[in-house]
Amino acid sequence: MGEQYLFPMELLNQSINERVIYFQNLTINHKIMQDTMDALLENIFKPAGASIIMVFGPSGVGKTTLKRLVEMKIIEKLMPQLEEDRGMIPVAGIELVSPDLGNFNWKDYYKRALQALKEPLIEHKISFEKMINDEMKKVRISNMNPRTAPEFRESLEKAFNYRKPLAFIVDEAQHFAKMTSGKRIQDQLDSIKSIANITGITHVLIGTYDLINFANLSGQLSRRTVDINFSRYTLEKEDIAHFQRIIYSLQRKLPLADQTNLLEHWEFIYERTVGCVGILKNWLERCLYGVLSEGKECIGITDLEKYALSINKIDKIVSEVLLGESLLMEDEEKRKKIHYMLGLNIQTEKVQNRVTKKVGQRKPKRDLVGEIDGRDI
């Protein structure tokens, strides 16, 4: 029985809520998660001039779990420095909230960032520039403008300098792009880059594939940004094998007395998860609560069908995933366009058309044969 189950057996005697909470708190570290985490940590500890790191992937792939694991790794590695500098915060971060009125609220962002950095007396911040500049006192700046609440912006920059976090991680960062005009979106980019450059703190933006278009608005930002794709499992042979291992591992960790072989239904599971582990785990959490509430001790195909995401929701997720993945693919037409703009095609043609004469090599021509004036030639 110990080989079949990977959970404390006493859980079987616990309440429904305790069993569900146990499963909810489990973290599944799989291949794509580990690869993405390794790439992110490498760029955080060795930024190589990148002030902003963007991590994007499909909804439900496990980005929030990635954030938590990365924060734990950073704290673990910087523990010796924390012993010496008790005021240091090794890593901090927030989850962006979706704006109520459709436009991103910078004042709210500054306040949440200060809270994440344990800044005291946030509501009592003042701007010294405003105090000495009478003209600024009369100006009313919208909360949607990055220049709003300069007292919070100044305090945030100082908090970064005092707390010295290795990175500031922003989850659901695609909400930065929620503005009514392209120019304002460009202002968002410039403001993020400015804070990162002034403070020297690497900013990690984690979000959906919408971040790709966000980053591509600025050539200067693209140069200072590292992109990391947190992908789903595809139907490639190697990915299928990894995905099946994840199903098997989760199945053995479900605190149920009787366990159905979920691998028998892996194709249906893949269909309703699109290869995203986060969607899979949330689905099994719903199944677990459902079967326990019904007094059952196993999850069958009928339970999977009952608690799966609807096909309409999956259709929307698949469309978003394929669109995002298409943005990452090398576009041959764009490559040709870039080659043309750089003049690479012209240079290639010149090289191909240039004829170089080798030493001792005769030029091609017809040789005369026969006799001329009685002489052999």
- pLDDT, tens digit, for every residue of 235-268? 999 999 999 999 999 999 999 998 789 999 999 9
Q: What is the CA radius of gyration of the chain?
A: 30
pLDDT, one tens digit per residue, over 206-230 is 999 988 877 676 666 667 788 999 9
pLDDT, one tens digit per residue, over 58-107 is 999 999 999 999 999 999 999 999 888 888 999 999 998 887 666 778 88
Token code pair at residue 146: 């990055």
Whether the per-residue pLDDT at 1 is higher than 80: the answer is no
Question: C-alpha angle with apex 191: 190 to 193, nearest 5 degrees?
Answer: 65
Write down the residue that tokens 């459902």 correspond to.
290
Write down the residue that tokens 């500054």 correspond to.
110
Highest mean pLDDT among 166-180, 211-225, 328-342, 358-372: 166-180
Burial class (CB in 10 A: 0-12, 13-18, 19+), 229: middle
Token code pair at residue 93: 């971060």
Query: How far lies 161's CA from each of 51, 87, 130, 200, in Å?
Result: 15, 11, 22, 8
Query: How far lies 280's CA from each of 40, 123, 250, 256, 344, in Å?
Result: 23, 42, 9, 17, 47
Taking the C-alpha atoms of residue 212 and residue 181, their distance in angstroms, rounded to an integer, is 17
Taking the C-alpha atoms of residue 151 and residue 164, their distance in angstroms, rounded to an integer, is 20
The dihedral formed by the CA atoms of 297, 298, 299 and 301, expressed in degrees to the nearest 10: -130
pLDDT, residue 183, reads: 58
